Structure 1
Amino acid sequence: MKVKNHCLNLWKGAAAFAVILIHCPLPGAPGRMGEAVARFAVPLFFLISGYFACDRDTGVIRRRAVHIFRLYVGAVAVYYLWAAAQYALSQHTFVGMAAKLFPEGGRTVPELLLWNRTAMAPHLWFMGALVYCYLFDMVLVRTRREEKAYWLIPVLLAANLLLGEGRGLIGVAVPVRWIRSFWLTGLPFFLWGSWFARQAKREKLVLHTGWLVAIVAAGMLLTVMECRMTDYRELYLGSLLTAGGLFALALTSPDFGKGAVLTRIGERDSAQMYLWHLLLRKMAAVIFRTVGLYGTTACQMLTPFLVGVASVALAELINVFTKKEV
């Protein structure tokens, strides 16, 4: 019998709203700090995926990869259709539309294959990276090298922080897509989640709730400090501590959050919220332009709230049509 971890669903709900806060930040310094703290969200999603992939047979992993790939392709198609419709309504030429939809030109395919990056739906790199994680996991399972791959966790996370936040120290500026990718973000956190699962099964994890709460608090505080000290807006060292601490907390307190609305949202709606929140943000921008409020403080304050509510509503509507049940 499958046992639910209600705390993980609670964190998934919080992470879904955190992603919205990253893409719809509040104005001013408080908004920037809130956006920085919210950076724990995507690493947490990879951790959870890796945790539930551990010791699964290749058939299960293949089905998950196919499911995510279908969502990925479908969502990308919708975002491109939206962009094409917007451009067509502006009465531009077909050539101009093609240049708008594929700004990378001949680099479109390499950008997609290497970095899972699409121009009209950049946030969906996570979905492509997750497919790569599942494919990588299938190779590890077939070759019985799952545990031998765990050494990649500190190596890839160190490279992420060094090339990203530490680029000012090393004097090398690398493109963000090199860091926000399967290679330096998706894979290490996915493997870390798998490591957590393996250690938990062997009962080798010694986790104390008080210490974990302290780690999460320290991670959030460190993130704010890092945000104030630099202009960097990707993974922080504090984000790593926050994501890891929250995940470990869910392992020690699986019933925490049981029955909460946010827990239900995390279980039922988080995936659809991730897929469609940026489209809803684009729609909100059209509305605000129409009423003459776009770019104002009121627009910045209202956008994350409206997108959050609309994302949950849309996800629930999709659940009705797909007959998803808890």
Structure 2
Amino acid sequence: MRNQTFDKLKAIACILIILIHCKFPSVFGDLCEALARFGVPMFFAIAGVYLVKNEDSDIRSIRSNLLRKLKKTVSITFKVWLIYTVYSFIYAMTVKYGALEWFNEKFNLFEFSRLILFNSGKFIYDFTYAFDHMWYLFALIYVYGLCYIFAPLLKKGALPISVVLMGFLYFGEFLQIYYPIRPFGISVSVWYTIRNWLFVGIPFTLLGYYIKNNNVSLMLKQPLTVGSVLTITGIFSTLMEFKKWGSVEVYFGSLLIVTGLLIAACSNTDKKDSDKEASIVHRSLAFVGRELSSNIYFYHVLVISLLGWCIDRVNAELYGSAIFMYLRPVIVITITILISIFIYKVKFITIKNDKNLRK
């Protein structure tokens, strides 16, 4: 039976992620961004929860499930990347950027090497849409591929591998803040040296897998209390870390939030709410997480870029308006949700028509 709590968490996470790329102004925006940093790690952790169908699956079944997920992720990644690449070319032409210059800047050996090593680079982002949010998809391909290869080690290796890699993650962030070294000529201060498939994708996916398949919630006397305490502690920790060090890729508080929410969600039985209005809210959140969250994540950067393109041509002075800058994230969230609903409806109608034709 599907755990709708994870769908609700995906809904909240995907909305908060927009606030990283389209911030509210002032300190309020900075704090929202800091708290939203748990979003992508949460997506990886939920992917880990659903990494295998059940804890008793044999290696063949695990690999079969992972191969299906891998093929689906590769297909989705290619489609999303193609949409953004076509958009980037069209955008570049509208601002009189040379086609050859655009091509050479994006598709070269250096940018391709950054994609392969770090899931980043101008292969998946450029000046036309500025954010490399697609790194998540490329990292997820690596995660599924490596879990497929090392499936026999999943059960015993999930926790120690996750702990070791998270240790490297936070050690790397320590270096970014205090000792910005340059191993192999690459500055450790560059965001993608820490935020990639190895130090974020794999450890958080394995964390989700471990908590779910080792029934961590069942081993705790009061899992909801423990989960709530960890989550609240993580929120305060994130805020204190932001005050001390400013913006970082993955706060230690983000780890606490993800762990707390995983424990709470795995222990949640999803009982029906007695309050009718509350149940509508919960059902709506579950629907957004289940059906819309992926497309919200995929296309919010496109909406941000398009909105910026329009504002630059209509009234660039709007960027100087505090009221507009507070409304801008709300506008982006609203448009992105509406686009995602449209995509869902088209997909639903298409599948329904296909079924009718087969009858």
Q: Structure 2 length normalisation: TM-score?
A: 0.83
Is the CA contact 2:158–2:207 (under 8 Å) kept in the aligned structure 1? no
Q: For residues 259-316 of structure 1, give each alpha carbon's deviation from its aligned partner in whole angstroms, at most 9, with x where no partner exists.
A: 4222211111001111100001111112222331452233421221111111111111
Calculate percent identity across the aligned residue pairs.
22
Go from structure 1 to structure 2 and tell me whether the alpha carbon gap of 1:41 and 1:92 turns closer, same or farther (over 3 Å shift): closer
Question: Partner of 1:217 in structure 2?
Answer: 232
Which is worse superposed, 280-289 or 201-210? 201-210
C-alpha distance in 2 between matches for 1:303 and 1:321: 27
Residues 138-149 of structure 1: pairs in structure 2 closer than 5 A: 138-141=148-151, 143-149=152-158
- The yes-or-no answer on 1:285 pairing with 2:308 is yes
Q: Which amino acid aligns with 1:236?
A: Y
Query: Which structure has the larger Rg over C-alpha atoms?
Result: 2
Question: Partner of 2:101 in structure 1?
Answer: 96
1:57 alignment partner, SS class = helix
C-alpha distance in 1 between matches for 2:69 and 2:222: 30
Q: For residues 214-260 of structure 1, give each alpha carbon's deviation from its aligned partner in whole angstroms, at most 9, with x where no partner exists.
A: 21111011101111111333100001101111111111224178642
Question: Partner of 2:63 in structure 1?
Answer: 58
Out of 322, 337, 340, the residue aligned to residue 315 of structure 1 is 340
Question: Partner of 1:106 in structure 2?
Answer: 109
Out of 180, 186, 189, the residue aligned to residue 201 of structure 2 is 186
Q: Which amino acid aligns with 2:116?
A: L
1:119 alignment partner, SS class = coil
C-alpha distance in 1 between matches for 2:288 and 2:113: 35
Q: For residues 129-173 of structure 1, give each alpha carbon's deviation from its aligned partner in whole angstroms, at most 9, with x where no partner exists.
A: 1111111111122x4554224311111111111211553344535
Question: Partner of 1:295 in structure 2?
Answer: 319
Which is worse superposed, 229-238 or 162-171? 162-171
Question: Partner of 1:163 in structure 2?
Answer: 172
Q: For residues 49-68 of structure 1, give each alpha carbon's deviation from its aligned partner in whole angstroms, at most 9, with x where no partner exists.
A: 01111345212211111111
- The yes-or-no answer on 1:119 pairing with 2:122 is no
Unaligned runs of 5+ in 1: none
Out of 66, 81, 92, the residue aligned to residue 86 of structure 2 is 81
Cα deviation for residue 90 of structure 1 reads: 2.6
Q: For residues 97-153 of structure 1, give each alpha carbon's deviation from its aligned partner in whole angstroms, at most 9, with x where no partner exists.
A: 224444xx3212211211222224610100111111111111122x45542243111
Indicate the structure whose relative CO is greater, using CA pairs within 8 Å and at least 6 residues apart: 1
Out of 164, 177, 183, the residue aligned to residue 192 of structure 2 is 177
Q: Structure 1 length normalisation: TM-score?
A: 0.91
Is the CA contact 1:165–1:236 (under 8 Å) kept in the aligned structure 2? no
Task: Figure out how many residues of one structure are paired with residues of the other and give that number.
Answer: 320
Q: Which amino acid aligns with 1:27?
A: P
2:270 alignment partner, SS class = coil
Cα deviation for residue 205 of structure 1 reads: 4.9
Q: Which amino acid aligns with 2:223?
A: H
Is the CA contact 1:24–1:300 (under 8 Å) kept in the aligned structure 2? no
Go from structure 1 to structure 2 and tell me whether the alpha carbon gap of 1:66 and 1:207 turns closer, same or farther (over 3 Å shift): farther
